[in-house]
Amino acid sequence: MTKASDFEFVRMDESHVRIPKQGKMRVDGIIYADETIMKGVAGDESPVQVANVAQLPGIIKYSLAMPDIHWGYGFPIGGVAAFDLSEGVVSPGGVGYDINCGVRLIRSELEKKDLEGRVAEIVSALFSAIPSGVGSKGPIRLSAHEERDVLSQGAAWAVSQGFGEKEDLAHIEESGKMGGANPEVVSPRAKERGRPQLGTLGSGNHFVEIDYVAEIYDETVARVFGLFKDQVVIQVHTGSRGLGHQVCDDYIRILSEAARRYKIELPDRQLCCAPIDSKEGREYLGAMAAAVNYAFANRQIITHWVRESFSRALGQAPGKIGLQLVYDVAHNIAKIETHLVDGKERKVCVHRKGATRAFPAGHPAVPEDYRQAGQPVLIPGDMGRESFVLVGTPRAMAESWGSACHGAGRVMSRTEAIRRARGRSIARELEDLNIVVMASSRETLSEEMPEAYKEVANVVDCVQAAGIARKVARLKPMGVIKG
């Protein structure tokens, strides 16, 4: 079995490490990592996955990994790769089980001082309003027809049902509705799992977090995004719940069979795939897009409940609090996009597995009111440290398929985190940092304790040094609910 120690790593500059093409690799691998990050990366064998992805048919230019890289299913978490539409493949392992796990940022008119002595009350209101935890179910019960509409329309369906505002849609990737969704190729089991879970947070690293803007790095861009120092903002991080998980599970089986049928040689069976233009490839993309839309609708409904919770806890009308969506980005997704390849515009299938789109100023996919600045890039940290707002850059378009990292990245398995947390009260430790936390289980807090993650500031600094995104603001947590 190939190990990371078998590879030659070539340091290109302070933020890029190359794995030169060797063996059956069709392209080089490139990891965005400084010296500190690289020491941790080499220890978890995720570079092997970077090299494995480089062996897939139709991959273009290189196999990439962001600085939050860690071991994942098939692709590493943080993996990015683009494939030719005629010769390339699509792989569920390049998207992940939690299809369109993503994060949105909501700004307010409140300042940190306005919540003095009120954070615990608001956290309690959020925890009561937003179902969380493993297998959590919400108050919304979809009929089969309504679920098809959710899978086709995404966040627009939620807004049509009174969950949020039409203006929200302009500030969601794909406007909250990914094209090409095909509910007919989503299995009955996936739909069954999805019907009771819309508007739920789930478990693991998903959260709703109350933050304040601790630092502004770029006043001009922050002003465009509506951010200011000491402002209260809220992050919502969740995905497509059981529906997306089942879609991935279903298509891993289908595409494993397809890979054998199309005689695709796989370095790892977790990289099962099918040609993009095959029946199986098209059906996976249609089912994946449907799950993407479910996740957009899910975050939209939770946003509505965030607004109601703040209003109820503070006794103020939502309009006075001013909870407006800054942006919503997807993390786990495969998309047909137009990029420059060898100086020519070309449509390619970009897989982002634990990576965030980071388009620059002037790009037509950036919301019109942000186009002068660029796309907001949202990088949540762990619940005890900090998060960052960045903006996409032209260099990202030139070298990373318009992509940046999606978070801090784990350095510790969930099992190891639980072991190390034994005998500790993570909630009390966070309370000592003036962070109020509520979770559906003590185990979740142990799994998600700050030490389980890389220091997100280091990851973000690496992204900025590489030039694929630029820092705009730093956020500090005040309160959080976890699954």
Structurally, the chain folds into a number of domains equal to: 1
Distance CA 72, CA 65 (A): 12
Proportion of the chain above pLDDT 70, given as a percent: 100
- More confident site: 1 or 5: 5
Q: Are 80 and 400 in contact (CB under 8 A)?
A: yes
Query: In sequence order, what DSSP letters do the residues of 144-158 get, joined into one string?
Result: HHHHHHHHHHTHHHH
What's the mean pLDDT when you consider all of the chain? Answer: 95
For residue 268, give the CATH number of its domain.
3.90.1860.10
Instruction: Band the pLDDT of 433: cuts 50, 70, 90.
Output: confident
Q: Point out the catalytic residue in the list 237, 304, 351, 406.
A: 406
pLDDT digits (tens, 9 = 90+) for 24-69: 999 999 999 999 999 888 778 899 999 999 999 999 999 999 999 9
Q: Which residue has the tokens 């069709």?
A: 26
Instruction: Band the pLDDT of 158: cuts 50, 70, 90.
Output: very high
**Residue 4 predicted with pLDDT over 80:** no
Q: Which residue has the tokens 């993650």?
A: 453
User: Given this model, what pLDDT does residue 1 score?
Assistant: 61
Q: Burial level of 85, CB count in 10 A (0-12/13-18/19+)?
A: middle
**Residue 443 predicted with pLDDT over 90:** no
Which two structure tokens, joined as six digits, stand for 201? 């947070």
pLDDT digits (tens, 9 = 90+) for 69-83: 999 999 999 999 999
Instruction: Band the pLDDT of 92: cuts 50, 70, 90.
Output: very high
Distance CA 307, CA 323 (A): 7
pLDDT digits (tens, 9 = 90+) for 301-323: 999 999 999 999 999 988 899 99
Mean pLDDT of 243-257: 98
Q: What is the pTM of this model?
A: 0.96
Per residue, what are the HEC states of 18-38?
Answer: EECCCCCCCCEEEEECCHHHH
How many residues are given for the chain?
Answer: 483
The alpha-helical segments, DSSP class H, found in 323-454 are 394-399, 414-421, 426-432, 442-447
Least confident of 164-168, 367-371, 399-403, 417-421: 417-421
Per residue, what are the HEC states of 454-477?
Answer: CCHHHHHHHHHHHCCEEEEEEEEE
Range of the domain at 81: 4-482
Judge whether 406 counts as a catalytic residue: yes
Instruction: Band the pLDDT of 330: cuts 50, 70, 90.
Output: very high
Proportion of the chain above pLDDT 90, given as a percent: 83
Look at residues 354, 361, 474 and name the one whose alpha carbon lies nearest to residue 404. 354
Phi, psi (degrees; rounded to nearest 5) at 377: -115, 120
Q: Burial level of 282, CB count in 10 A (0-12/13-18/19+)?
A: middle
